[in-house]
Structures are given as C-alpha cells and as structure tokens.
C-alpha cells in the first residue's frame, strides 16, 4: 500500500517511543522499584519500525539516508535506540531506557516537522563505498553512546541526590549502585569517543567532491563542529583521570556536552555543504 511510506513507518516508531516515555514517567514515580523490561520491549518494537523506515528511505534514494535534516535526524535517533538495545541486554542497565525514551520521542517529533524533508536531494558529494558507511555508522553510533552516557550521568545525579537526603527510594530502587553508574557513564563516553575518532578519520579519507582538492572536508562547518566536539569529549576523559575531578561535576559536564550536541547538530548540518548538499 502506498500509505506505508518511510515517513509513516517512522511516525509509528515515534508513537511507540511516546508510549515508552509515558511508561518511563511511571518508572520514575515508582523510584525504579520495578524491572523495566516492558520499556525495553516497547523500544525494541519502535526500533523495528524505525529500521523499516530507514531501509525504505535508503532503498528509495539508493544511498545511506543522511542527505537532509529529516534523514539525518532519523538516523541519529536510530543510533541512540540501537546503542540502548545492545546495552539493555544487561538487565542491570535497562533503566537507561527511561532516559533514552524521552530523548527519542522529542527528536522523533522534531524530525517529523514537514519542512525538514522538503530540501531537494541532489546527487550530493561523491561519497560511496564501505568507507562512507563506516564514517556514517561510527559517527552516529558515537552520538548514541554519548546520549546513553548522558542518561547514565542523569541517573547518577538522581541517585546521589536521593542518598544525600536519605530518601528511602534510593535503597529500594532497582538501579545499580551509584559507583557502577559512574563507571557506566565514563565507559559510554569512552566508547563514544573511540567511535567518533574512527568516524572522523574515515571521513577525512573519503574522496573529495569533483573539483575539490580535499581541503573542503576540514573546513566544512559540520566537520569543524565535530572536531570541537571531539576535543570536548577528550577533555572530559582527561579530566575524569585527574585526582581533583569532581564526580558530580563530571556527570553534569557529560549531560551538558550532549545537550550542546543536540542543540547544535541541526544548525551545523544545515550549514554543511558536504552533509547537506
């Protein structure tokens, strides 16, 4: 049926992310005293529909669907939920879904704004082959890891607040100990940083567009933004290893870095001639 376009499959996925968000509020109100396997299954169902939408769009344009803001945003959200589903295989880490769901729902609603998918899709830069796939996949999976790291950091701050004020729900909660949350946060940031580094390096090795010497990649606004982001996360990882670092400050910085990523991703994508031809 013609009704089932990539946008409609994505709309169904966003609706399920919305249901997951509602259930996440329930988990928050109960202090995470229940196992959130229901949330995991909801996100898994949304991911299945999301993947179908990605595949349909990719086959329709014959390349990786990151050519306009709708496609880039859809791919970004897909990378976040994919990263969560892998990490959520560990029961103790499924609580991250309660933080990932609202992000996915908000990003999904934003992506469905009509104007984001009205840009003409021309031939674009001459990026093709496995190197292009490696570049896109590792960068977007890095975003997903950074997002989940921010979710773990938010949970760390919540647990720290409950423990500080001797709240009963900190004892009754099914969440991992606060020390484990700190480790999870730092490891997710490290994994995201490694993936981000691989993605940037792969992008620099891509063949330049016709008539370009190759310098355009490192002067493109989106690439400059990515390099800045790389230094931000490098600074966080170095700070994490210093004796004087504040665990609370590190958690807040991880959240702040991801909020900056969310707020500036769309603008730099619009300014980029390589990623938004």
pLDDT tens, residue by residue, 114-167? 666 654 444 444 444 556 667 777 887 788 788 878 888 887 887 776 666 555
Q: Report whether pLDDT(61) > 80.
A: no
Least confident residue range of 22-26, 133-137, 262-266: 133-137
Least confident residue range of 166-175, 192-201, 252-261: 166-175
Q: Report whether pLDDT(237) > 60.
A: yes
Specify the higher pLDDT residue, 120 or 195: 195
Q: Report whether pLDDT(170) > 60.
A: no
Long-range Cβ contact pairs of 252-259 (< 8 A, separation 24 or more): 252/153, 252/157, 254/146, 254/149, 254/150, 254/153, 254/185, 254/189, 255/150, 255/153, 255/154, 255/157, 257/146, 257/150, 257/229, 257/232, 257/233, 258/146, 258/147, 258/149, 258/150, 259/150
Q: Average model confidence (pLDDT) for the chain?
A: 77
Domain boundaries, the chain: 1-114, 130-277
**pTM of the shown model:** 0.63
């Amino acid at each position: 049926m013609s009704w089932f376009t990539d946008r409609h499959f994505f709309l169904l996925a966003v609706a399920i992310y919305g249901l997951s968000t509602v259930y996440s509020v329930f988990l928050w109100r109960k202090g995470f005293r229940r196992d959130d396997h229901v949330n995991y299954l909801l996100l898994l169902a949304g991911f299945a529909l999301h993947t179908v939408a990605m595949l349909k769009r990719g086959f329709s344009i014959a390349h990786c669907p990151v050519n306009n803001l709708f496609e880039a945003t859809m791919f970004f959200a897909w990378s976040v939920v994919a990263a969560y589903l892998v990490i959520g295989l560990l029961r103790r880490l499924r609580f991250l879904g309660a933080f990932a769901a609202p992000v996915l729902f908000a990003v999904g609603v934003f992506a469905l704004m009509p104007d984001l998918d009205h840009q003409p899709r021309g031939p674009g830069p001459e990026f093709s082959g496995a190197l292009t796939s490696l570049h896109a996949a590792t960068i977007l999976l890095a975003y997903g890891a950074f997002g989940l790291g921010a979710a773990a950091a938010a949970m760390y701050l919540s647990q720290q607040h409950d423990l500080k004020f001797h709240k009963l729900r900190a004892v009754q909660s099914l969440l991992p100990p606060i020390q484990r949350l700190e480790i999870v946060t730092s490891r997710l940031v490290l994994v995201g940083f490694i993936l981000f580094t691989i993605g940037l390096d792969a992008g620099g090795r891509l063949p330049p567009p016709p008539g370009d010497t190759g310098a355009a990649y490192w002067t493109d606004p989106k690439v400059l933004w990515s390099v800045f982001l790389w230094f931000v996360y490098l600074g966080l990882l170095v700070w994490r290893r210093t004796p004087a670092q504040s665990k609370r400050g590190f958690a807040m910085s991880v959240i702040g870095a991801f909020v900056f990523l969310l707020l500036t991703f769309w603008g730099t994508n619009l300014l980029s001639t390589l990623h938004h031809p």
